[in-house]
A = this chain, B = another copy of it.
Amino acid sequence: MAKDLVIGIDIGGQTTKCGIVDARGTILSQTVIRSDNHTEVEPYVAELAAALNHIIAEAGAEDRIRGIGVGAPNGNYYTGTIEFAPNLTWGGQQKIEFAKMLSEAVGGIPVSLTNDANAAAMGEMTYGAARGMKNFIMITLGTGVGSGIVINGEVVYGHDGFAGELGHTCAVRHNGRSCNCGKNGCLEAYASAIGVARTAREWLEMSDEPSVLRSLDRISSKDVYEAARDGDALAKRVFDFTGRILGEKFADFIEFSAPEAIVLFGGLARAKEFLTEPILKAMNENVLPLWRGKVQLVYSQLKESDAAILGASALAWEL
């Protein structure tokens, strides 16, 4: 039988999503397992392989799987390894030959691997808002800020496979916030879900301005978003500030690779009614005149739960 299907796997810190995908981008069968049940990689891979065998059987697809694409934090496209990934309970201290291990555990089906943001960029190019685009930059606004850069129709991997760490370019040069990566002032420290919540907390501490956020014990980016939707002035200004910082950095990114569009994806991108205007304002004020008003800001058109599987699956068509 023709090998006309692929599998996409998205490995996050907490959950791993897997799905069987056909050439039109339909997910035929899917499942989710915990990523954080194990501190060693071997039992995790065994559990993952069992889950894959289950959905393969469910779809009657035993001889039809052409390949498996994996999106994982710190995933290296060139070597198929997951390298020192601090957010994975079994991945922090080592370089894991993940593609090889998984392929062996599923009877030799070939496995290709990249980081989650690159996989998201491939998904958007193959099935989503970037269809037909050959030059765009995908920015994922989630717990962190990730990026996948597409130039001339190809994801940029760079010399070592790790290109596209735009979340760790410098947004605030002096007295910047400390970032999880060990540096200070990174874009991620401001423009991630965690960064937005932190901005709100800092601003509440620094003034007596009334805000519905004051009544909360813990503040998440979702709380800030809901407060902004309820008209809370401080919460709205948090998004103005976040959008400005994003737009300033997008101007730099445009001057690097002259993309047709910046594509936003991830939980925080849902706040687009508050982010779009300040992003575009700062982006166009800070970019060279030749690009002013010319680079689109678009939002992912894929369902977030599907996007991760579809993006990773897009990798497997290249196998």
- Copies of this chain, whole number: 2
A residues bordering B, Cβ < 8 Å? 83-84, 134-135, 149, 151-152, 154, 156-166, 168-170, 172-173, 181-183, 248, 251-253, 255-260, 286, 288-291, 294
**What is the chain B residue whose CB lies nearest that of A161?**
B258
Pick the contact of A257: B158, B172, B183, B294 (CB < 8 A).
B158
- Give min CB distance, A250 to chain B, whole Å: 11
Q: Are B286 and A183 in contact (CB under 8 A)?
A: yes
Q: Are A156 and B252 in contact (CB under 8 A)?
A: no
Q: Are A166 and B135 in contact (CB under 8 A)?
A: no
Q: Are B288 and A258 in contact (CB under 8 A)?
A: no
Q: In the complex, what residues of B have CB within 8 A of residue A160's CB?
A: 258, 291, 294
Q: Are B135 and A169 in contact (CB under 8 A)?
A: no
Q: Are B256 and A163 in contact (CB under 8 A)?
A: yes
A165→B149 CA distance, assembly (Å)? 17
Given A151-B158, A157-B258, A164-B256, output 4 extra A-B contacts at Cβ < 8 Å: A149-B257, A151-B156, A152-B156, A159-B260
29 A-B pairs (CB sep. < 8 Å): A135-B159, A149-B256, A149-B257, A151-B151, A156-B257, A156-B258, A157-B258, A158-B257, A158-B259, A159-B258, A159-B259, A160-B294, A161-B258, A162-B258, A162-B291, A164-B256, A165-B256, A166-B255, A168-B288, A169-B251, A169-B252, A169-B255, A170-B251, A172-B173, A173-B248, A181-B288, A181-B289, A183-B286, A256-B256
